[in-house]
Structure 1
C-alpha cells in the first residue's frame, strides 16, 4: 500500500525538479573557479566541522557560500569573514496530518524543492561540499545540481543517517531501510569523499564501494588552555550568580579578590589557584542538552567582549573548556564509526577526558595516556575517585594526562586540512 504511494510522490517530486531545472537551463554561467558551496541540511551553528571547512577555503582565497539553517549563531570568525557568504534556509514544518510516513515523504519532497532552489540561486560553484548526515534528500539534490551546473560533488561523511534514524524507529522500519538504500546508491555518485575515522573509511569501501579519505576532526586554533587571568575573570563573573563559583572562605584581606577556584591580590597583581580548590568537571553533552547550562551560557553572552588587555574571547565555550580539570564524554556513536568532536575540542585545550566506550573510540582516546575509557557508571565512579584522590596535586594521574597532551604537539585543523584537503582541490 505504501510502496505505490511512495513511487507516485517520488514521480511528482522528480517532475517538479525537472521544471525547476528547465527554468534555470540558461542561467548556468561559470564565474571563475573560486566559489565553493559548503552545505548542510542542518543547523550551521552546530556544524563546526563545516564552518571549519568554510574558513579553510576562505583562507586559501576561495569564495564560499555556506548554506544551512540558522537556528544557532555560527562562530564569529565565520560571520566576519568577507569571503564567506551565508545562505540561510528555513526549516520546513509539515502539517501533522495523516500517517507519519506520508508526513515524512511530503517533508522530503518539500526539502528537495527548497534545497534545489537555494543551490541553483547561488553563483556557479566549482564544488559542492556536502555534509552527511543528513543526506536525505540533500545528496541526490546536490548531485543533480552538480550534473546541471558542471560542478563536482564532495561528501563529508560524519556518520550514517540511517543509523541515527534507527535509534528512533528501529532497524527494521521501512524509512530506515529506504534511508540505508538511498545513502548506499547516491553516495556512490560523488566525485570525492571524506570521512571522520579510518573505521568509517574501511566500512565505506567494503559495504558501499566508496573510496574516502580520512580527515580527522581536529581542534581549531582558538581551543587552547585558558590563561589563569582569564580564568579568574570568568570565575568572578560566574560567582555573582552561581554559588558553586563563590569563595568557600572569606578573603583574609579586603584587597584579595577570591572565587572558589582562584584568588587575586590586587595590591601586587599576584594571581594563583586556591590551594584547596574543587575540581571543575565538564560534560561533552552539556552544551545543548542540559537546561541549566543553557541558562548559564545565556547569562554569559555579555561576557564575550573585548577585555582590558585587548584580547578578544573567541567563544565562552573555549574559555570554559580551557579552564576545566576533566572532561566527561557520554557520546555513543549510532554507527560505531564516528568520533565525538567535543573530545577533540577538549584535547585542543589539553583537557584529559573520561569517555564511554564504543568501537572506534581508540582512534581518538588513548586509554591511560590522554584519558580513560569506561563502560558503565561503576567504572566511571572508580576512575573519578582515582583521578581526584590527590587533587590538585601536580603528581597525580590527571596531571600526567594533561602533560601528555601538552607534549603531544597534536595537529590543528588548519594544518590537517592543508595536508589532506588542499592537495585534492589543487589537483582538480
Structure 2
C-alpha cells in the first residue's frame, strides 16, 4: 500500500509555487506523481524516485538549498586554503633559498684543504626594465658593460616583484632614471589630472626604497632630491653612444654608403657637385615632438633659396622612425609639395636597421632634433648618437637639461622657434659653410668619449668592479 502524504513528507506543508522537483536514487527506480492540494492556492507536482525494495526517498526544498549552499562553502574553503598556502609557501621559499652573498666560496683544486685559496666568485646584477628593453639602448648598455667586466647579468621585467625580493633577500636595488613616468602621462592628461598626481606619488614613494640611483642629467638629480625627496645616493650617468656610431674616415666611404641606400642614392651626384646637403631627423612621430616646426622651416628655407639667396644648396631631408602621427605629417608634406612650397627641399622617410642608421648619421651634413622633453630634465638619445657619428646638431633647446648635452656654437645650435631654425639653416649652409665646419669639429671631439668612459668610473665603481682610469 502506498504511504500517505504525511508519511512521505513528514508533515503538512502548504506549497504554492509551481515547482517540479525530481529526485532519483538506487538501481531500479519507479516513478509516481503526487498532487498536493491541501491548503494550497497553486499546484505543485512532486516527482520522486523510490528504491525497488519499497523504501521511499524524499528531500525537501529547504534541504536541497542547504545542500547547494554547503557545496559552495566547501568550494570557497578549498580555494581560500590554496591561496593561503601559496601566500605562506612563496615567502618561505624565498627565505630558505641560498642568499647571493651567503654561499660557500669555492676553492682552488689540487691543494690541501687548509692551503686552498678561495676563488673569487664573479659579481652578479639583475637589470629590471620598465617597458620594452628593445627600445631602451641605455639598459642594453648597462647589461653589456657589466658582462664585459665578467659579471653575471639577468634581465627582469617585473619591477614590483623585484622590489619585494630585494627587501626580503637584502639585495641592493638601483634605479636608473631616464625620465619621469608622470611627466609623460601629463602630456596626454594634463598636469592637474588625478592619475598624474597618483603616478607621481607612486614614483616618489617607491623610489625611496632604492639603495642608489642613476640619472641622465644633473638637472634630473636636482629634481629627484628637491621634488621627489629622494635621500639615497644619486649618481649622474650621462648617456654616451654605442660603439657602432662612428664617423666615416673620408668622403668616399660616405658616398659608397649613400649610393647603396635606396632613400639616398638619388642625392649622391648633387652631393659630389656641392649643390645639395643632406639633413637627418629621427622621430617617433608622437605629440611630444612638434614636427610642424621643421616642416615650416623647410618651406621658408625653400622660399629664401628661390628668391633672396640663390646660392643656398638644395636640401635632402631623411626622416627615420615610425609612429602614430606619421601619416598626418606625410599628407601635409605631400600637399605642400603640390603647392610648390618645397621646390628646393626633398623629404623622404626611411625605416633602417641600427647599423644603417649609424652609417646614415655619419654620412649627412646636419642632424635635427625636435625633442621637447616632457619633464625638462631628460636628454634625447638621438643627439648622443649623432655626436657619436661626428654629426653636428640643431635642436629644440627650451628645457633645463639641454646645455648639459649641447655646447652652443661648439658642437651644435639650439632653437626655440621656427624663425631661429630657419636662421640657423641659412647661416650654416650659406657661403663658405665655415660655421658648419666648426660645429663638425666639435661633434667629432664629442664622439671620442664613449659609454665605457662614462660607465666605468660611475656605475662600475658603485658595483665594485675593477676600474683603471
Q: TM-score range by the shorter chain?
A: 0.5 to 0.7
Which residue in 1 is equivalent to 2:255? 232
Unaligned residue ranges in structure 1 (runs of 5+): 1-12, 69-114, 116-137, 248-258, 262-272, 302-313
Give the equivalent residue in structure 2 for 1:43.
132
Relative to structure 1, the CA distance from residue 15 to residue 196 in structure 2 (aligned partners, 3 Å threshold; closer, same or farther) is farther
Alignment of 1:56-71 (within 5 A): 56-68=145-157
Q: How many residues align?
A: 305
CA distance in 2, matches of 1:142, 1:56: 21
Q: What is the CA distance between 1:182 and its match in structure 2?
A: 1.1
Mapped partners of 1:371, 1:409: distance in 2: 13
Deviation digits for residues 108-128 of structure 1 (CA, Å, limit 9, x no counterpart): xxxxxxx2xxxxxxxxxxxxx
C-alpha change, 1:409 and 1:274, in structure 2 (3 Å) is: closer
Asked if structure 1 preserves the Cα contact closer than 8 Å seen for 2:367 and 2:393, the reply is yes
Q: 1:288 touches 1:294 (CA, 8 Å); kept in 2? A: no
Shift of 1:276: 2.1
**What is the CA–CA distance in structure 2 between the aligned matches of 1:346 and 1:156, rounded to whole Å?**
23
TM-score, normalisation: structure 1: 0.65
Deviation at 1:161, TM superposition (A): 1.0
1:375 match: 416
The one of 352, 357, 360 equivalent to 1:320 is 360
8 Å contact kept, 1:287–1:294: no
The reply to whether residue 209 of structure 1 matches residue 249 of structure 2 is: no
Is 1:27 the counterpart of 2:97? The answer is: yes
CA distance in 2, matches of 1:17, 1:376: 57
The reply on whether 1:296 has 2:305 as its aligned counterpart is no
Which residue of 2 is the match for residue 351 of structure 1?
A: 391
Q: Given that residues 186 and 193 in structure 2 are in contact (C-alpha distance below 8 angstroms), is that contact kept between their aligned partners in structure 1?
A: yes
Query: Shift of the alpha carbon at 1:24?
Result: 4.3
Change (3 A) 1:199 1:18: farther
Aligned residue runs from structure 1 range 237-252, under 5 A: 237-239=260-262, 242=263, 245-246=265-266
**Once the 2 structures are TM-superposed, how far is the Cα of residue 348 of structure 1 from its aligned partner?**
1.2
In the other structure, the counterpart of 2:164 is 144
Whether the 8 Å contact between 2:239 and 2:381 is mirrored in structure 1 is yes
Choose 1 or 2 for highest CA Rg: 2
**Secondary structure of residue in 1 paired with 2:463:** helix
Of 205, 208, 217, which residue of structure 2 is paired with 1:185?
205
Counterpart selection for 2:321 from 283, 287, 307:
287
- What is the Cα-based RMSD across aligned positions, in Å? 2.9
Q: TM-score, normalised by structure 2?
A: 0.59
Q: Which whole-Å CA distance do the structure 1 matches of 2:187 and 2:361 have between them? A: 29
For the structure 1 residues 38 and 396, does the alpha-carbon distance in structure 2 shift closer, same or farther, using more than 3 Å as the test? same
Q: SS in structure 1 opposite 2:254?
A: helix
> What secondary structure is seen at the aligned counterpart in 1 of 2:206?
helix
